[in-house]
Structure formats: structure tokens, C-alpha cells
Amino acid sequence: MRPTRFASNAGGMLPALCVSLLAAAPAPLLAQAKPAAAKPTPLEASVDRLAKHPAVTASFAALQTENAWTLDQQASICQIPAPPFKEQARAAEYAKRFRELGVQNVRIDKEGNVIGEVRGARPGPTLMLAGHLDTVFPEGTDVRVKREGTKLIAPGIGDDCRGLAVVLAVTKQVITQKIPFSGRLLVVGNVGEEGPGNLRGMRAIFAGPLRDSINMFISIDGTGFGVTNGGVGSNRYRVHYKGPGGHSYGAFGMPNPMHAMGRAIAKIADLEASTTPKVTFNVGIVSGGTSVNSIPFEAIMEIDLRSETAAALAEIDARLQKALREAVVEEKARWPQSKAALTLQIDTMGLRPAGTTPDTSFIVRASLAAARTMNVYAPLTISSTDANVPMNLRIPAVTLDGGGVGRGAHSLDESYDDRNDGYKGPQWVLLAVLGMLGVK
Ligand SMILES: [Zn+2]
């Protein structure tokens, strides 16, 4: 899921197409721009050399010539429904495909995550490469994939069937080309990334036996070439105001739960929110009541708070809680003669931890270096993804896009367009992974 997306800086190179725009660019952009002729850093030079390794060049060629295979993986996985908490059928198929590729020790953990491993040629770090199995779509959604030229259209085709296909494509090359990398690659199809899942798949992995052995984490989620190194945290609540209710005329004069909720919404609407770090609030759903001439016995709303720092999220959360309680006090005070109860119940729908992997970290620099070698522009972005969990634990983590062009994520007309160079997505991910693990 990539709903919140804004560039944090231009830490990577600028795209070749943008060079002609530099003259018109404002000073800060020029300051961040790295001319194409700049001397590569040692890391960039080593990734340049890596791209010339015979096994890597063979993999790059295969990813291009076998691009139809990657797209078939993407489409066929997408046609297996995977609503939140109902990812089992897709998980079983994903595990089967890992086994067919020769991935070792493929298993499905208690939470439902598919986990397998590919051992390198020599000891080294452990990197987890994951795509998420779940979608936002309920059971019964038509998930048949339509093809129009280079475009695939289906709910979930980009988010995250693209990620799942890229993980398979990269895994296939690492195994079939016998790339002599160091360390261990853990390949994963995880559950519970989308809202209702509340990152349950990643929480389970990073609370389980693998936690202490994972040195680096990459989620493939989204399309294009973004590097997400900031994890937006969110707190989500379902809030109920309740009272006895009654006839709108006969029982008039008692606190009205709907009116109390209206007072709360007015307070929420007036909350001040900082822009740096970015803080957001939203009342997304309201419901309740039974008829126009009844004082409702219940009013319900769902609220989403977000920020890229844990401190800012805690601060807006405290102000929200205060507003919710004040609304009860004010609605009761409006009807001092009434003995009718008015209560507030706050259910937690989801708490996503916030976290950041610094721009200067090895994992971010290696991701950008791989993009530089491939001559693609990779912006740094902030979003809410599976990488939030390791980021919050200070384990180096990023979410990389899977190439191509996606449209309409989380909508029924979601599409993924491979255009003429979608294969560059898995090429980039492969090079970044190998740059992080090292190849002899
Ligand atoms: Zn996603």
C-alpha cells in the first residue's frame, strides 16, 4: 500500500531527461543534483563493476528476454483472491512457485507468511526480500486480469502482485544463474500489509525466531523506481458515542450521541497539524442512527492519524483523545436536567509504527547506486509499508518499487502498464540486492 507518497529529497541522480531543466531549476534542486559526469563514490563504482559480472549480465539479459514469464507470474497470482485474513490460497500457490524455482526450506509460518531461503556462496549478511500477498478487496471481487497491449488491469495487479512477481523473477535469476553472492537471501510473500491486516505478517516475522538474524530488509511494493526510506506511522480508531436513544419529539431533552460526535468532529477539524514532520488527521467514515425521528442510541466514526515520526504521532493522538472526551462533557452540559447516560468507547483498529532508515545508510545508498548504474531516477519517498516494522526496530529497511507504471491502487480499475521497459524493475531490485550482499 502506498497511499502517502511525497519525495523527501533528490538524494539520487537526476534523470537524464531532466538535465535540460536544470537551468530553470531553483537553487536547492541544483544543489542536490549530481551531474552525470561526477566521479562515482566507491559504493557506486563497486555497483558499476557488479553490473558487469558475467552472472549478473546473464541475469539482466534473462530478465529482459523472459519478461513475459514475469508478467504471467504477476497476472496468474493476481487471479487468486487474497482478501485481508484470507490469503491462504494465494500463499499456498506462492510457496509452490518458490519450491519450483529451487528455493530451500520453503514454509508457511503460523501467521500465514510464506518464507524460503536461498543460500549464498559464502557466509555473509541475511537480507529479507518480501512482497505482500494481501489485497484490500473483499471476497467475491472479480479479480480476472484483462490485458490491453502492455497494460494489465485487475484489482491488486500493481499492489502488490507486481511486488510478488518481482520477488519471483529476482529469485529465479539468483538461482538459475548461480550468482555467487555472499550471505543468505530470505524470500517472502507476507500477509497483512493492507489496513485491516495492520502489518500482522511483518510483526510476526520480526517478533519470531528470524528477528535477530535479519540484517537488511527490502519490501517490493509500488511501481516505478522509488526508494521508500521513511515509514509513516498511523493510529486508527473506531469511536462510538452511545446513549439510550428515544423518540425525537417525545424524548427530546437528553444528550444525543450523534450531536456529541458532531461536536467531536468539529474539534478534530480544527486541530492544528504540523507540516514538518508531516502530521495528518481524517474522519473517514461516520455511521449510526435508525431513523430521522429517533435520537440515535449510537453514533460511530473511524479516524486515521498519521505522521512520519513517532513523537508527532503521539502528540496529535493526545489532542484527539482530549477532543473526543470534551465532546461528551459538552453534550452532557447542554442538557443538565437529563439523567440519560452518554458514553464514549474507543476501539483501536490499527497502530502502525513509524520509522526512518537514514538517507546516509548503506541500504539506501546501495539502492540509489543501483539506480544510478542503470541510469534510472530513483527518488526517496515516505510511505506506509511493511518496512515500517523493521524501520521501527532500527533494522536497515527500504521499500523499493517494482518498475512499470501503476494506476488506481486500491480501486477496482487498478492497472499496471509494463510499457517497453518493465523488466528494468526486477533488474534494479536484483542489482540493489546483490550490491547489499556482495558478489565475488
Ligand atoms: Zn502494497
pLDDT tens-digit readout, 257-267: 999 999 999 99
* Cα 30 from Cα 39, distance rounded (Å): 17
From the CA of 189, how far away is ligand 1's center (Å)? 12
Largest CA distance in the chain: 84
From the CA of 226, how far away is ligand 1's center (Å)? 13
Determine the 3-state secondary structure of 347 from DSSP: strand
Residue 15: predicted pLDDT? 34
From the CA of 1, how far away is ligand 1's center (Å)? 3
Q: Between 163 and 5, where is the model more confident?
A: 163
* Cα 21 from Cα 355, distance rounded (Å): 33
pLDDT of 207 strictly over 70 = yes
Q: CB 339: neighbour CB atoms within 10 A?
A: 7
From the CA of 154, how far away is ligand 1's center (Å)? 14
From the CA of 162, how far away is ligand 1's center (Å)? 9
* Cα 328 from Cα 326, distance rounded (Å): 5
From the CA of 386, how far away is ligand 1's center (Å)? 8
From the CA of 251, how far away is ligand 1's center (Å)? 49
Burial of 139 from C-beta contacts in 10 A (0-12 / 13-18 / 19+): exposed
From the CA of 316, how far away is ligand 1's center (Å)? 26
Residue 37: predicted pLDDT? 65
What is the SS3 assignment for 295-333?
ECCEEEEEEEEEECCHHHHHHHHHHHHHHHHHHHHHHHH
CA dihedral 420, 422, 428, 429 (to 10 degrees): -170
Rounded to an integer, what is the distance from CA 388 to the centroid of its chain? 8
197 φ, ψ to 5°? -70, -25
The three grid cell numbers given for residue 20, joined into one nine-digit string:
535540460
Residue 10: predicted pLDDT? 38
pLDDT tens-digit readout, 43-92: 999 999 999 999 999 999 999 999 999 999 999 999 999 999 999 999 99
Residue 440: predicted pLDDT? 87
pLDDT of 367 strictly over 90 = yes
pLDDT tier, 195 (very low <50, low <70, confident <90, very high otherwise) = confident
Range with lowest mean pLDDT among 88-92, 296-300, 406-410? 406-410
Residue 1: predicted pLDDT? 52
* Cα 30 from Cα 18, distance rounded (Å): 11
Range with lowest mean pLDDT among 26-30, 72-76, 150-154, 199-203? 26-30
Residue 312: predicted pLDDT? 93
Residue 6: predicted pLDDT? 43
* Cα 289 from Cα 119, distance rounded (Å): 59
Range with lowest mean pLDDT among 4-18, 240-254, 362-376? 4-18
Type of residue at 107: R
From the CA of 11, how far away is ligand 1's center (Å)? 24
From the CA of 362, how far away is ligand 1's center (Å)? 24
- Eight-class DSSP state of 34: -
* Cα 354 from Cα 151, distance rounded (Å): 34
pLDDT of 378 strictly over 60 = yes
From the CA of 193, how far away is ligand 1's center (Å)? 7
* Cα 197 from Cα 218, distance rounded (Å): 19
Is the Cα dihedral 75, 113, 174, 427 positive or negative? positive
Range with lowest mean pLDDT among 176-180, 310-314, 367-371? 310-314
Q: CB 31: neighbour CB atoms within 10 A?
A: 9
From the CA of 263, how far away is ligand 1's center (Å)? 35
From the CA of 83, how far away is ligand 1's center (Å)? 13
Residue 35: predicted pLDDT? 53
* Cα 411 from Cα 413, distance rounded (Å): 5
Is the Cα dihedral 205, 398, 185, 361 positive or negative? negative
Is the Cα dihedral 201, 203, 205, 207 positive or negative? negative
From the CA of 197, how far away is ligand 1's center (Å)? 12
Residue 192: predicted pLDDT? 97
From the CA of 134, how far away is ligand 1's center (Å)? 8
From the CA of 36, how far away is ligand 1's center (Å)? 32
From the CA of 96, how far away is ligand 1's center (Å)? 22
Quote the mean pLDDT of the chain: 92
From the CA of 306, how far away is ligand 1's center (Å)? 17
Q: Are 11 and 380 in contact (CB under 8 A)?
A: yes
The three grid cell numbers given for residue 177, joined into one nine-digit string:
544463474
pLDDT of 146 strictly over 60 = yes
The three grid cell numbers given for residue 233, joined into one nine-digit string:
506511522
From the CA of 176, how far away is ligand 1's center (Å)? 28
Residue 308: predicted pLDDT? 86
- Counting every residue written for the chain, the total comes to 440
Classify strands 397-400 and 227-231 as parallel, antiparallel or unpaired.
antiparallel
From the CA of 224, how far away is ligand 1's center (Å)? 13
Q: pLDDT above 70 covers what percent of the chain?
A: 92
pLDDT of 277 strictly over 80 = yes
From the CA of 252, how far away is ligand 1's center (Å)? 48
From the CA of 330, how far away is ligand 1's center (Å)? 41
In sequence order, what are the residues at sequence separation of 6 or more whose Cβ sits closer than 8 angstroms to the Cβ of residue 1?
136, 159, 193, 194, 195, 221, 383, 384, 385, 409, 410
pLDDT tens-digit readout, 12-52: 333 333 333 333 334 444 444 455 568 999 999 999 999 99
From the CA of 309, how far away is ligand 1's center (Å)? 21
Mean pLDDT of 362-382: 97
From the CA of 223, how far away is ligand 1's center (Å)? 10
* Cα 66 from Cα 420, distance rounded (Å): 13
Burial of 138 from C-beta contacts in 10 A (0-12 / 13-18 / 19+): exposed
Mean pLDDT of 340-347: 98
Q: Between 267 and 1, where is the model more confident?
A: 267
From the CA of 429, how far away is ligand 1's center (Å)? 16
The three grid cell numbers given for residue 432, joined into one nine-digit string:
540493489
Classify strands 216-220 and 279-288 as parallel, antiparallel or unpaired.
unpaired
The three grid cell numbers given for residue 209, joined into one nine-digit string:
525466531
From the CA of 20, how far away is ligand 1's center (Å)? 34
In sequence order, what are the residues at sequence separation of 6 or more whose Cβ sits closer than 8 angstroms to the Cβ of residue 99?
106, 116
* Cα 248 from Cα 293, distance rounded (Å): 5
From the CA of 137, how far away is ligand 1's center (Å)? 12
From the CA of 125, how far away is ligand 1's center (Å)? 26
From the CA of 2, how far away is ligand 1's center (Å)? 6
From the CA of 221, how far away is ligand 1's center (Å)? 5
From the CA of 156, how far away is ligand 1's center (Å)? 8
